[in-house]
């Protein structure tokens, strides 16, 4: 390199020293792709008085050595030397004449090869001025071949949760090298590898490594290859096979004696689909009144205490078998009798709105209380009558709110529909709020969220341990407490005493 540089400086100084008029004009750099054609310009600037051109020589300059490419001589004609004979020609037809005109000795270089990358010198031999020369650096690019492959068309998620390469992206034999990036929402890591070929090209490879699982199925993975500013994108969608994820639907924590038409359904998310469902009752055999229909247990006849127990469903696909279970309790009486409450349970999303409504109601009550307070203060100023009247007004207006705190029942003890008046609402909101908070981590539809099911991971533990989801009953008394102090007639009466 240092040697080349010093030669370059020498060459430069030669050109500059020819300041008495003659110079060789060339592009400093030129580039082309493998197989393409480039034009290497070389123009001789003569001066007055003109010098005589004795010969023009094109040379390839690489590794500190020079190799002749083509020669043009005014009396002898032109000569292109092997191995350039087939691929190099002078651009100007005049140069090829018997008595060539040698002012423009630009050459056309076709069917470029990687080995053509070099500096090319165009040297003019003149009389009486001597040699004049200049050089062009020719760079040859190679377009890479890019492709992306999935490791296997279908990836199998093993319970061992082992990392594996799911896709490979390769950009082969590029010059300059490509850059590979990944675009995906899939959690994973990428590895990169670069291989330099003897011909100067570089192959870059990248693997995308993930732990395949249910959540990686159908995820999109995009490889972005950037080559000289161009971006090429390749995408694949993962096809991940995984063992069943089992949930049991149907037990609503309200199987009471003589209830009709109850059933349990074993739902499994699996790829490929479940082929076999198997039901068992822990520590017992399935009741004789039960009918197995596909993935459901249909209980014929009314509910009896004999139905209680832990029901287990094994779901099997080609990847494995997993188990879901539900603990069925039978009660003497229905659990959640209020139709209002049942509505909440049916649509979890309603719960938010209902809570919002309740909060709004509290705000409204507070505003009304404030208004009343102001109104009473006014009345007190204008007419200093007895307070019992005002208290009477308060008592009437706020009997409902005042009744709240005293009356938030624990849901287990909820009464029958006949006493389900407005006063019960806040307590029941608390219940649905409790469901929401305790079971939010489960996916599945809203209906599922209310079922006390869970799934046992066979890979981890075979025994059905106590991962039961307990319903959390939260009577949520704070709102009521607030309201008490806000709306308690006596409190406000006290304030009035201060006025
Ligand atoms: C230049 O030198 C390198 C090693 O220094 C060699 O591999 C290469 O073939 C040489 N190129 C030419 C055109 O001689
Ligand atoms: C041309 O290439 C030589 C090495 O072959 C290098 O030293 C020089 O800086 C290059 N010139 C330009 C203009 O890129
Ligand atoms: C460069 O070398 C690689 C590996 O030997 C080869 O596959 C590729 O075709 C070569 N590229 C060119 C442009 O000759
Ligand atoms: C159920 O059976 C298992 C063994 O099959 C036993 O260990 C367990 O104590 C039994 N449980 C009940 C409640 O009978
Ligand atoms: C359930 O089984 C019945 C036959 O008992 C069959 O006709 C039906 O297609 C099955 N349904 C599903 C979803 O497998
Ligand atoms: C269901 O019954 C079992 C005993 O059979 C009891 O341990 C469990 O707490 C009960 N679950 C509910 C939600 O009542």
Q: Does the pLDDT at position 383 exceed 90? A: no
Average of pLDDT values for 293-316? 93
Q: How far is 135 from 40, CA to CA, in rounded Å? A: 10
Protein residue with least CA distance to atom 5, ligand 6? 329
Of the residues 111, 141, 171, the one at which a domain ends: 141
DSSP characters for 150-191? ESSSSEE--TT---EEEEEEEEEEEBSPPEEEEEESS--EEE
Q: How far is 341 from 471, CA to CA, in rounded Å? A: 15
What atom of ligand 2 comes closest to residue 61's alpha carbon? Answer: 5
| Residue 419, token pair as written in the block | 């006493």
Q: Are 232 and 247 in a shared domain?
A: no
Q: Are 323 and 220 in a shared domain?
A: no
62 in ligand 1 pocket by Cβ < 6 Å?
A: yes
Q: Does the pLDDT at position 40 exceed 80? A: yes
Protein residue with least CA distance to atom 7, ligand 1? 198
Q: How far is 11 from 26, CA to CA, in rounded Å? A: 13
pLDDT at 457: 41
Q: Does the pLDDT at position 417 exceed 70? A: no
pLDDT tens, position by position, 125-165: 999 889 999 999 999 999 999 999 888 888 999 888 889 99
Q: How far is the CA of 63 from the centre of ligand 1 (A)?
A: 6
Asked if residue 76 is part of any domain, the answer here is yes
Asked if residue 217 is part of any domain, the answer here is yes
Q: Nearest 5°: CA angle at 485, between 482 and 490?
A: 165
pLDDT at 371: 53
Asked if residue 461 is part of any domain, the answer here is no
More confident residue, 262 or 496: 262
Asked if residue 254 is part of any domain, the answer here is yes
Q: Are 100 and 36 in a shared domain?
A: yes
Q: What are phi and psi of 84, to 5 degrees?
A: -100, -5
What are the CA-CA distances from residue 236 to residues 149, 152, 252, 448 (Å)? 8, 12, 42, 32
Q: Are 193 and 104 in a shared domain?
A: no
pLDDT at 369: 56
pLDDT tens, position by position, 218-252: 999 999 999 999 999 999 999 999 999 999 999 99
Q: Are 289 and 306 in a shared domain?
A: yes
* Count: domains in the chain: 3
Protein residue with least CA distance to atom 13, ligand 5? 294
Q: Are 233 and 294 in a shared domain?
A: no
Q: Are 31 and 133 in a shared domain?
A: yes
Residue 100, domain CATH: 2.60.40.10
pLDDT at 101: 79
Average of pLDDT values for 256-269? 94
Q: Check residue 385 and report its DSSP letter.
A: -
Which candidate, 24, 9, 27, places its Cα nearest to that of 125? 24
Q: How far is 27 from 43, CA to CA, in rounded Å? A: 10
pLDDT > 90 fraction of the chain, expressed in percent and rounded: 52
Strand 155-156 relative to strand 240-249, pairing: parallel
| Region for 200 from its dihedrals, namely left if φ exceeds 0, alpha if ψ lies in -120 to 50, beta otherwise | left
Asked if residue 13 is part of any domain, the answer here is no
Domain that holds residue 221: 145-238
pLDDT > 70 fraction of the chain, expressed in percent and rounded: 62
Mean pLDDT of the chain: 73
Of the residues 220, 238, 256, the one at which a domain ends: 238
Query: Which residue bears the tokens 């070389």?
Result: 42
pLDDT at 445: 38
Q: Does the pLDDT at position 376 exceed 70? A: no
Q: Are 249 and 228 in a shared domain?
A: no
pLDDT band at 259 (very low <50, low <70, confident <90, very high): very high
3-state secondary structure of 270: strand
More confident residue, 104 or 337: 104
Q: How far is 99 from 44, CA to CA, in rounded Å? A: 17
More confident residue, 422 or 202: 202
- C-alpha torsion angle, residues 353, 354, 358, 360 (rounded to 10): 20
Q: Does the pLDDT at position 8 exceed 60? A: no
Q: How far is 63 from 86, CA to CA, in rounded Å? A: 24
Q: Are 39 and 103 in a shared domain?
A: yes
b/e sequence 270-304, b meaning 16+ C-beta within 10 Å? bbeebeebebbbeeeebbeebeeeebbbebeeebe
Q: How far is the CA of 308 from the centre of ligand 4 (A)?
A: 15
Q: Are 255 and 297 in a shared domain?
A: yes
Q: How far is the CA of 339 from the centre of ligand 6 (A)?
A: 24
pLDDT at 400: 35
**Angle of helix 387-397 versus helix 489-498 axis, rounded to 10:** 150
Query: Which residue bears the tokens 């004696």?
Result: 257
pLDDT at 284: 86
pLDDT at 339: 54
Question: First-to-last CA distance in the chain?
Answer: 98
DSSP characters for 198-239? TTS-EEEEEEEEE---GGGTT-EEEEEEEETTEEEEEEEE--
CB atoms within 10 A of CB 93: 10
63 in ligand 1 pocket by Cβ < 6 Å?
A: yes
pLDDT at 298: 94
pLDDT tens, position by position, 20-33: 578 999 999 999 99
More confident residue, 472 or 368: 368
309-316 sheet: strands from edge to edge: 276-281, 309-316, 321-328, 453-456
Q: Are 251 and 175 in a shared domain?
A: no
Helix or strand (DSSP H, E) at 196 = strand 189-196
What are the CA-CA distances from residue 343 to residues 29, 41, 58, 86 (Å)? 78, 85, 92, 87
Average of pLDDT values for 6-19? 43
pLDDT band at 377 (very low <50, low <70, confident <90, very high): low
More confident residue, 385 or 63: 63
pLDDT tens, position by position, 49-84: 888 999 999 999 998 999 999 999 988 889 999 999
Q: Are 261 and 288 in a shared domain?
A: yes
More confident residue, 444 or 15: 15
- Residue of 274, 275, 294, 297 to test ligand 5 pocket, by largest number of atoms within 8 Å of CB: 294
Asked if residue 340 is part of any domain, the answer here is no
pLDDT at 29: 96
Q: How far is the CA of 215 from the centre of ligand 2 (A)?
A: 53
- Residue of 4, 63, 68 to test ligand 1 pocket, by largest number of atoms within 8 Å of CB: 63
Asked if residue 346 is part of any domain, the answer here is no
Of the residues 178, 210, 238, the one at which a domain ends: 238
Of 210-214, 335-339, 368-372, the one with minimum mean pLDDT is: 368-372
pLDDT at 410: 37
pTM above 0.75, yes or no: no
Average of pLDDT values for 377-403? 39
Q: How far is the CA of 295 from the centre of ligand 5 (A)?
A: 9
Average of pLDDT values for 382-411? 36
More confident residue, 17 or 228: 228
Asked if residue 458 is part of any domain, the answer here is no
Q: How far is 103 from 118, CA to CA, in rounded Å? A: 24
pLDDT band at 372 (very low <50, low <70, confident <90, very high): low
């Amino acid at each position: 390199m240092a040697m080349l540089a010093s030669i370059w400086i020498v060459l430069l100084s030669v050109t500059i020293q020819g300041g008495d008029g003659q110079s060789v004009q060339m592009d400093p750099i030129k580039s082309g792709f493998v197989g393409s054609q480039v034009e290497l310009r070389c123009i001789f600037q003569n001066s007055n008085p003109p010098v005589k051109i004795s010969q023009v020589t094109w040379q390839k300059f690489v590794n500190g050595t020079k190799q002749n490419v083509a020669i043009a001589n005014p009396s002898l004609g032109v000569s292109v030397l092997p191995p350039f004979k087939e691929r190099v020609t002078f651009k100007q037809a005049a140069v090829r004449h018997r008595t060539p005109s040698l002012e423009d000795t630009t050459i056309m270089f076709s069917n470029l090869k990687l080995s053509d990358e070099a500096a090319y010198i165009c040297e003019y031999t003149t009389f009486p001025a001597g040699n004049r020369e200049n050089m062009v650096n020719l760079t040859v690019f190679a377009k890479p071949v890019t492709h992306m492959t999935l490791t296997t068309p279908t990836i199998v998620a093993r319970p061992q949760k082992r990392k594996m390469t799911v896709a490979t992206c390769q950009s082969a034999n590029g010059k300059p090298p490509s850059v590979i990036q990944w675009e995906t929402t899939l959690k994973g890591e990428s590895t990169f590898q670069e291989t330099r070929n003897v011909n100067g090209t570089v192959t870059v490879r990248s693997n995308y490594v993930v732990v395949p699982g249910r959540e990686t199925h159908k995820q999109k993975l995009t490889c972005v290859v950037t080559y000289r500013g161009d971006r090429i994108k390749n995408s694949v969608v993962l096809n991940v096979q995984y063992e069943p994820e089992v949930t049991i639907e149907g037990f609503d924590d309200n199987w009471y004696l003589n209830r009709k038409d109850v059933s349990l359904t074993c739902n499994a998310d699996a790829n490929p689909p479940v082929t076999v469902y198997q039901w068992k009752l822990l520590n017992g055999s399935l009741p004789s009144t039960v009918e197995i229909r596909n993935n459901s247990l249909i209980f014929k006849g009314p509910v009896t205490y004999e139905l209680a127990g832990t029901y287990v469903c094994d779901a099997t696909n080609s990847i494995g078998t997993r188990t879901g279970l539900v603990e069925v309790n039978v009660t003497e009486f229905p659990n959640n009798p209020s139709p209002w409450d049942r509505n909440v349970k049916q649509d979890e999303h309603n719960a938010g709105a209902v809570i919002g409504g309740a909060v709004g109601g509290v705000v409204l009550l507070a505003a009304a209380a404030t208004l009343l307070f102001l109104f009473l203060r006014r009345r007190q100023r204008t007419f200093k009558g007895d307070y019992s009247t005002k208290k009477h007004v308060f008592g009437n207006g706020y009997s409902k709110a005042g009744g709240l705190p005293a009356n938030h029942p624990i849901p287990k003890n909820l009464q029958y529909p006949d006493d389900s008046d407005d006063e019960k609402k806040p307590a029941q909101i608390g219940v649905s709020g409790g469901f929401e908070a305790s079971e939010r981590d489960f996916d599945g539809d809203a209906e599922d969220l209310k079922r006390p099911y869970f799934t046992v991971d066979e890979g981890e533990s075979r025994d059905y341990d106590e991962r039961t989801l307990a319903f959390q009953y939260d009577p949520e008394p704070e709102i009521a407490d607030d309201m008490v102090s806000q709306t308690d007639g006596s409190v406000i009466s006290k304030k009035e005493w201060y006025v």
